[in-house]
Structure 1
Amino acid sequence: MNICERVLCALIVALLGAGCTHQPPKFLNPSVTGYNYTPAAINSFKVNGDGGPNLGPHQGGGKFTCCTTVPRQWQPGMTATVEWEKDPNVGASVNWPKFGTDGWREEYKKHAAKYTHHRVTVEIPRYEVVGTMKVHFLPCDQVLVAVNNVQPGYPGYPHNDVINALNLEEPATCPNT
């Protein structure tokens, strides 16, 4: 073998060897969707600082946004911090002045002052395969999350026992309030 053939052979071996050492990423970036089981609107929310869609009362599921970050492999004690802004009086604008007028802007300003802001850290249930990050907003400002590759309502989803009642109403008093 001449020198060129040896260099070419060495280069091919090096490239083939490099392909064998490829490691999958330690973190993945699943999209985020929300499910709102309350009569309030979720104006916006974040999971670990990454944005999610707005959700009307008793809505959710089909609205995906990009993304949050989770480890490829589940680890005990994993949590997610969820922050959200809630509009407790969704239908208030029905009798407001015409949209875009000074009167409308004044009404909106008073209305937006009643928005509430929340933050909670919740446990991420065990998962084998990363799927969409699903965030469930429940009455009394309770939140559940799941990142497995199973959709709500299907066998193996970790919160089916809680979310089967889709139109939960806020109780007169919430625990721990």
Structure 2
Amino acid sequence: MTRAAWLIVISGLALQGCTPPKPVRLGTPIEGYSHTSAAINRFSVNRGGGPNISPYSGGGKQNCCASLPVKWHPGLTVVVEWEKDPDPYASANWPPLGTDGYRAAYKLHAAKYTRHRAVVPVAQYEDLGIVNVHFLPCNQVAVSAGTTYPGRPDYPFHFPQKMQEPATCPES
């Protein structure tokens, strides 16, 4: 190799030390909690799918995966998309399963599902863990992604399991 070629190689290697490394991201499991009377039929975090959630319940079921940085940084957000069934127990009054009447009732019911999308800040975490998504009244969402979990004193959120929708919601 010529001297000029060596200088180019050495200069290139030296410049690599000046370039900040790309943040390391990992796929982490997704878990959800509905704090309302609505069911969450499906949801996703950064396009990674979460489990369906019954009213006033959650936890215990995980789906894979949301891609998040190993280390939290200020301004970290995720995109949460979800479908909500505001009347999840309506089928108790429908005609028998498998009948035309049931299919018609389901079609009318499913037309009342609502779909939502929110860009949500992620609570600060030291170590990346399970992504916990909390569905709150007024289509609000809170997200954590650390190694702690609901019920522990060091968990960033302390929402009651059952929260009522107010008569009117603030405009977003």
TM-score of the superposition, structure 1-length normalised? 0.82
Coordinate RMSD, CA, aligned: 1.5
Could you say what secondary structure the match of 2:75 adopts? coil
Which stretches of structure 1, 4 residues or more, deviate above 6 A after TM superposition? none
Unaligned ranges ≥5, structure 1 = 1-24
Residue aligning to 2:136: 138
- In the TM superposition, residue 44 of structure 1 has moved relative to its aligned partner by 0.4
Determine the C-alpha separation between the residues in 1 that align with 2:140 and 2:28. 22
Identity value in percent: 53
Determine the C-alpha separation between the residues in 2 that align with 1:78 and 1:172. 32
Residue aligning to 1:89: 87
Residue aligning to 2:114: 116
Determine the C-alpha separation between the residues in 1 that align with 2:138 and 2:109. 21
- The CA deviation string for residues 29-66 of structure 1, in whole angstroms up to 9 with x for no partner, is 11000010000110000001110000010010111111
Residue aligning to 2:40: 42
TM-score of the superposition, structure 2-length normalised? 0.84
Greater C-alpha radius of gyration: 1
Unaligned ranges ≥5, structure 2 = 1-22
Letter matched to residue 68 of structure 2: V
Number of aligned positions between the proteins: 151
After superposition, residues 55-70 of structure 1 pair within 5 angstroms as 55-70=53-68
Which structure dedicates a bigger proportion of its chain to helix?
Answer: 1
Aligned with 2:99 (options 94, 98, 101): 101
Determine the C-alpha separation between the residues in 1 that align with 2:58 and 2:107. 27
Residue aligning to 2:10: none
